Amino acid sequence: MGKSDSTLTAPSTTGELLDSEFVAPTDKEEGMDDMEKEQSFIQNVSPSESPSPNRKRRKTISTLEGVGVSRSSPNQNDVPSSTNESRGRGEGRTGGREKKNKSKQQDKEDMTWICAECKEADCGLVTKQQTLSDSNNSTDPSNQLSAPEDSFLICDGACHRIFHVPCAGLSKIPDTEDDWLCKDCTRKEHACAFCSQYGSDFVDVFPCQDEICGLFFHESCLQTHHVEYEYDSNDETLSTTAKSTSEDEDLEEEVAKIPLFTCPAHQCWTCTQKDMIQLEKEEEAAQRSQSSSSSAKKNKRKKKKQSIFQSKSGRLFQCLYCPTAYHVTCLPPVSRFHELAVLCHEHAMSHRLPELDMSDSIQSQLEDKADQTFRRIHGIRTGSNKRKKGILSVRGASANPFFPGLRGDRLDSKELEMLRIVKETASVPEATEHESITTVETVSVQSSSTVSMVLDGDLPFCLPVDMKDEVYSKPPPYIHIQSLKYDADKSNRPKKILSTGTEEQEKCSCTKSCSDDCFNRLTMAECTGPANCNLGATDCGNRSLGKRQFVKCQPKRERGKGWGLATLEFIPKGKLVQEYMGEVINEAEKERRLISWNEEHPNDPNFYVMALSGGYYVDAREYANLARFINHSCDPNCKVSSINVKGYIRNGIYSIRDIQPGEFLSYDYHFDTKQGDRFVCRCGAANCRGTMKGHGKDGSTKQPATWKEAKARYDADKKFLEEAEKSRVVSLVDTLLPCAEHPNETIASGPLLKHRREAICSRIFLWRNLKHGSDFVSRNSRLEKKAVVAKTT
Ligand SMILES: C[S@@+](CC[C@H](N)C(=O)[O-])C[C@H]1O[C@@H](n2cnc3c(N)ncnc32)[C@H](O)[C@@H]1O
């Protein structure tokens, strides 16, 4: 655990503005990177609804029923394990079985999946890169993204998690039959589902026994959370193998240390009853028996439109961020959910639900239905009722029977006010955030009867879930301050840089106003008065920080990034937008805070510490102003500059281009950390580096790993493997016994010890599966050898 190598910001005398840098956790904290940790969970509805194991990708349609994704599983060596077998892995590749699995497959394609990385069904990256690739109309296949329906990747490793292709660090779906492994599966390290700390598989963390669960846990965390477990004292595989050796005994000992348990994801937190998998199986069997009939087809179509509210009562819905699961009927009031996901009672306040595509959601379909019924009852004839994607006002007002817009009366003032609020809260953010969304349409607000009925309680009133989210959720609390908060102990404060009014300080020679060529501005200082400004006491134009001339802004949710800050007014280029305010702390205190926060809030991905100068930092977690909400972008509209105001450094955030009202503000965090590439960036910019990590400390312009680099690495590995495969000697034993890769591995002597060990650890007790295990091991060792060769040359 090293020290942060964060570069500190100091006033420059070169006249060049210096970027302040955000402080990411140091190595110590990096080991506990929340972004990374959180990605190890993905919403799981029911094991029986786990995604298609037929590797590459599918998606879509909104049924929560389909959102189920089984998560990580045991040892990485088990890539093609019994887990996969039970889920049909490989069956799609054999012609005969393909048909058999088609209906199952079809259901799986009907799912809406949540990406394990960004926790969204659709993320900014996919949309943006897709648009770019469209607009470039590139003919280079490597530059083209796959079609949207192909934009998910399923990890073929132990975790089976699902990622958007860009979120997985790739530009497109790997065009190969080789397995694709996510970062965790490649490293053979998974985060404990309780504490989110990473550990080595089968050494520090152990998998849930449920064969398609795949969550990992520390033994100590199981104890803390009162999860019962036992040890495997009687391993059948060992006892059935050839003669017992001392190695066998060692192995037995190791195996005996593996805790066996079923994790809390398989039991309702509220009623403690289990998931009714059996119920599922029976129903599937019944469906299969009718599969040829047309009614069955209808049912299948119906199933696509199922939502969380229509699912079977026995099914468990797991929190997006932890193993806590509930039946729909057991969801506690403090939990939050919509048709795609559930946030448990512990994560409901601190985390957000994925965004809903309202044009394709159950919510909107229900509204449509209710709308039609309402029109029918009231004998209202209307034109086309087509919905436009994202136009909440259309849904919220004219198309929703619980809102006005259906009759010919005028609205009264109360109703107008209500409509105004709904329009303001629901429509504006969407309209400004996504360019594709047109501005709010003028709603023909004529009826008063509907609203009256709603207000009188005669009609049920229900705000759509995402609107509720928008209206009711508030940014996390913090104490608002109007200037930097220094330590009470003066010895813990940064030293003053220059005393104003001494001969050390030069006066600027500006005559009209202090603009770009002002001496103070060039030396990154503000004019403060006659002592350093030729214009004296007047507002010369270089005093915005001192005078706190900030832009009017408002916190708003920013897709995939939590809360962001949007400007309410036009900002011309070069203007001060906000000052980054918080508590001024020294290096030791910063380290202490980052570590203890991580320990106490392992699932919080947000960091608020920014370098100030001379070993001091600004921590905006508890005491802050609005600037704490500004998110990172690799193509930002602002930059942070450290400015000397009356001898003290302050971090001003300045616009670097014209910014329109409603636009989200952003600057480049330059997260300065050795493991900065763990901080996945979701800015969606064309030049996105893929992470929030900054450039090298030495000023080198080397970019951190991006999806392009990841792809290049992937291609290089693929080429290497293909060449190695060509030169591979196929031994006689190989042809006789498909699972064998070693001449000593014969049927008589049984599998090699290392394969037995893998089989035991991975719970693969089928002989034929060892082939997959050995393939994986040999592929891995070839890659390792390659890495060693590359290092030595
Ligand atoms: C200073 S906070 C910004 C406000 C924060 N989004 C919130 O909800 O309070 C920095 C955190 O925001 C998130 N964030 C900011 N920019 C991001 C980006 N481009 N992609 C992903 N996450 C981002 C990260 O969790 C980061 O640690």
pLDDT, tens only, 345-360: 888 877 878 776 655 5
Pick from 606, 607, 667 the residue to mutate for probing ligand 1's pocket: most ligand atoms within 8 Å of its CB.
606
What spacing in Å lies between the alpha carbon of 737 and ligand 1's midpoint?
Answer: 53
Decide which of 641 and 85 is more confident: 641
- What pLDDT does 637 receive? 96
- What pLDDT does 613 receive? 85
Domain ranges of the chain: 27-32+476-707, 44-280, 358-472, 728-792
Decide which of 658 and 729 is more confident: 658
- Over residues 481-494, the mean pLDDT reads 90
Is the CB of residue 165 less than 8 Å from the CB of residue 171? yes
Atom 23 of ligand 1, residue of closest alpha carbon: 561
Decide which of 293 and 722 is more confident: 722
Q: Return the C-alpha torsion angle 510, 511, 517, 520, nearest 10.
A: 20
- What pLDDT does 360 receive? 55
- H helix intervals, 305-434: 362-377, 392-393, 413-422, 428-433
What spacing in Å lies between the alpha carbon of 62 and ligand 1's midpoint?
Answer: 27
Taking only the tens place, the pLDDT of each residue in 626-635 is 999 999 999 9
According to CATH, what is the number of the domain 27-32+476-707? 2.170.270.10
Over the Cα atoms of the chain, what is R_g?
30
Q: Which atom of ligand 1 is nearest to the CA of 562?
A: 8
- Over residues 398-412, the mean pLDDT reads 33
Confidence of residue 325 (pLDDT cuts 50, 70, 90): confident
What spacing in Å lies between the alpha carbon of 205 and ligand 1's midpoint?
Answer: 29
Residue 655 has pLDDT above 50, yes or no: yes
User: How many of the other CB atoms lie within 10 Å of CB of 135?
Assistant: 9
What spacing in Å lies between the alpha carbon of 19 and ligand 1's midpoint?
Answer: 18
- What pLDDT does 507 receive? 82
What spacing in Å lies between the alpha carbon of 562 and ligand 1's midpoint?
Answer: 6
- What pLDDT does 771 receive? 54
Residue with tokens 């066998």: 248
Q: Which atom of ligand 1 is nearest to the CA of 22?
A: 1
Averaged confidence pLDDT in the chain:
63
Decide which of 349 and 308 is more confident: 349
The CA distance from 703 to 236, in Å, is 52
Q: What is the ipTM of this complex?
A: 0.99
Pick from 21, 126, 351, 561 the residue to mutate for probing ligand 1's pocket: most ligand atoms within 8 Å of its CB.
561
| Lowest model confidence (mean pLDDT) among 215-219, 555-559, 606-610 | 555-559
- Over residues 260-288, the mean pLDDT reads 72
Pick from 632, 668, 673 the residue to mutate for probing ligand 1's pocket: most ligand atoms within 8 Å of its CB.
632
Confidence of residue 165 (pLDDT cuts 50, 70, 90): confident
What spacing in Å lies between the alpha carbon of 561 and ligand 1's midpoint?
Answer: 5
Burial 316-331 (b: 16+ CB within 10 A, else e): bbbbbbbbbbbbbebb
Decide which of 497 and 615 is more confident: 615
Q: Which atom of ligand 1 is nearest to the CA of 682?
A: 20
What spacing in Å lies between the alpha carbon of 713 and ligand 1's midpoint?
Answer: 28
- Over residues 240-268, the mean pLDDT reads 72
Decide which of 375 and 391 is more confident: 375
Atom 11 of ligand 1, residue of closest alpha carbon: 606
Q: Which atom of ligand 1 is nearest to the CA of 563?
A: 8
Confidence of residue 164 (pLDDT cuts 50, 70, 90): confident
- What pLDDT does 549 receive? 92
Taking only the tens place, the pLDDT of each residue in 548-600 is 999 999 998 887 788 899 999 999 999 999 999 999 999 999 989 888 887 77
Pick from 553, 580, 631 the residue to mutate for probing ligand 1's pocket: most ligand atoms within 8 Å of its CB.
631
- What pLDDT does 356 receive? 67
What spacing in Å lies between the alpha carbon of 602 and ligand 1's midpoint?
Answer: 15
For the chain, what percent of residues have pLDDT higher than 70? 46
What spacing in Å lies between the alpha carbon of 612 and ligand 1's midpoint?
Answer: 19
Taking only the tens place, the pLDDT of each residue in 108-119 is 334 467 888 888
What spacing in Å lies between the alpha carbon of 598 and ligand 1's midpoint?
Answer: 16
Is the CB of residue 328 less than 8 Å from the CB of residue 317? yes
Q: What's the token pair of residue 21? A: 């840098």
Residue 44 has pLDDT above 70, yes or no: no
- Ligand 1 is surrounded, with C-beta below 6 A, by 561-563, 605-608, 628-629, 631-633, 681-683
Decide which of 174 and 643 is more confident: 643
